[in-house]
Amino acid sequence: MVLHAWRGYKTYAWGKNELRPVSKRGHTAGIFGRQDMGATIVDALDTLFIMGLNDEFNEGRAWIQYHLDFNQLRSEMSVFETNIRFVGGLLSAYSLTGDPLFRDRALHIARKLLPAFDTPTGIPYALINVANGISKNYAWASGGSSILSEFGTLHLEFVYLSDISGDPVFREKVNRIRDVIRKAERPDGLYPNYMNPKTGKWGQRHTSIGALGDSFYEYLIKSYIQSGGKDEIARDMYLDAITTITNRLVMKSVSGLTYLAESKFNRLEHKMDHLACFSGGMYALGAKNLASHISGNHMDIAEGIAHTCHESYARTPTGLGPESFRFTEGSEARALKSSEKYYILRPEAIESWFYMWRFTKDQKYRDWAWDAILALEKHCRAEAGYSGVQNVYMETPQKDDVQQSFIFAETFKYLYLIFSDDSLLSLDEWVFNTEAHPLPVSGTNAFYRKPQETENQPW
């Protein structure tokens, strides 16, 4: 599958951000800006490496060496997406190989993002034009706010950047963000999805473990793990946040399915995004790493979420899960609106099954992953790669003609790891960023490399 997807990209879209696998041409999404930055190459690199696809890895490395140049960028990019895909992808490649090219390119790109953090609070803007540093927020985001899942999903990469470079600036930036978040009073103990970077005030009262909130929570527990258990602030923030979420947003459906609702202006919306399916893995990671601090049944919740997300797949004729699914009296774990029925090759359900497989060794998680592989083959495989589908409830859905870069970084990687030995990227030694790029755990993993002199070069 990986070779099919890679060869299609290489043949028809080499150097573009993504591939259109049906019409066989390049594709770019707004998050990457308008230019060709080879997002698929950078996102795929560590997956190619761990699969031993050395020729393909070397093709990617050569493209990065000669063509990945943020000095050429003239359009706006998403700070968050650039961090999780480009910086995260390059940092994984660096830690896995020790090749300084990847470290230096990651540092170069991360430095280009720093002007976005020049706000009165230190909370970064969402978008930056790296050519001139001009930054802004999305016009649609609550009163000029920045988004929690974006400014809260920088910590793992930035701390590691400081540690391997000896440059404290990255750690300072994310510690400042954390301080602001921590000190802002939370309505009902929940973190709203929006914060104004000028005032430090929360925006609209909307809390979600899906879109707009998700990876902020993920990075709290993972920062604690990455630090080798030293980052107690992250641990305590995670415990505090997850306790409130468990008490207020974890629900049981009429038939007994566990799901996460959203809170909007104090009312619950009984809708779960596909994105929120990652939280099965997060609850499991928390249960394993914080056993003595958690009194509740977080492993049961993890199992329940992984199961519900599987139900959202199993209740469609394609065997693929919808973008969002709802819980009403008459319908459970199904999308109700036509705008929620698409599947864009997302990894989150598979990601949770990966963690549950590692922690429980229950065969059902491998079976579910295998079913997902068959569904991908049947409905998403196109002549030149893999495509999303527009409606998972159709017997023969139309393709959306986009091969998202995260199919390499995440979907393929988690599927491969479910069928691999636990020693391949052991969870005792590695922590995955939100784009599934593995970063080493400090103290226990020798790949947590020491700072070295950065060569004198234009990067």
Q: How far is the CB of 361 from ligand DMJ (least distance, A)?
A: 25
406 versus 430: smaller Cβ distance to ligand DMJ? 406
Q: What is the CA radius of gyration of the chain?
A: 21
In the three-class reduction of DSSP (H, G, I as helix; E, B as strand; rest coil), residue 227 is classed as coil
| 15 φ/ψ sector (left φ>0, alpha ψ -120 to 50, else beta) | left
92 versus 215: smaller Cβ distance to ligand DMJ? 215
Residues forming the site for ligand DMJ (CB under 6 A): 215, 275, 346-347, 406, 410, 434-435
Sign of the torsion formed by the C-alpha atoms of 449, 453, 457 and 459: positive
> By the 8 A CB rule, do 415 and 31 touch?
no
> Is 360 annotated among the ligand-binding residues?
no
Catalytic, out of 81, 311, 401, 435: 81
Catalytic, out of 104, 218, 340, 348: 348
Q: How far is the CB of 404 from ligand DMJ (least distance, A)?
A: 7
Indicate the DSSP class of residue 292.
T
90 versus 294: smaller Cβ distance to ligand DMJ? 90
Q: At what angle do helices 232-248 and 214-226 cross, to 10 degrees?
A: 140
17 versus 215: smaller Cβ distance to ligand DMJ? 215
> By the 8 A CB rule, do 39 and 85 touch?
yes
C-alpha to C-alpha distance for 19 and 8, rounded to whole angstroms? 8
Residue 426 CB contacts under 8 Å (≥ 6 apart), including other chains: none
Closest by CA position to 221, among listed 304, 114, 298: 298
Indicate if 18 belongs to the active site. no
77 versus 294: smaller Cβ distance to ligand DMJ? 77
Indicate if 383 belongs to the active site. no
Q: How far is the CB of 135 from ligand DMJ (least distance, A)?
A: 21
Indicate if 332 belongs to the active site. no
> By the 8 A CB rule, do 348 and 278 touch?
yes
Catalytic, out of 214, 262, 332, 401: 214
Q: How far is the CB of 420 from ligand DMJ (least distance, A)?
A: 20
Indicate if 81 belongs to the active site. yes
Q: Work out the angle at residue 415's Cα, subtended by the Cα atoms of residues 345 and 395, and round it to the nearest 5 degrees.
A: 45
231 versus 435: smaller Cβ distance to ligand DMJ? 435
Number of alpha carbons in the 13 Å side-chain half-sphere of residue 233: 10
Catalytic, out of 43, 303, 323, 332: 323
Q: How far is the CB of 347 from ligand DMJ (least distance, A)?
A: 6
Comparing every residue's Cβ against ligand DMJ, the nearest one is 434
Q: How far is the CB of 436 from ligand DMJ (least distance, A)?
A: 7
| 385 φ/ψ sector (left φ>0, alpha ψ -120 to 50, else beta) | left
CA 331 to each of CA 53, 195, 343: distance values in angstroms, whole numbers, following the listed order = 44, 34, 19
Annotated binding-site residue numbers: 434
Annotated binding-site residue numbers for Ca(2+): 434
The catalytic residues are 81, 214, 323, 348
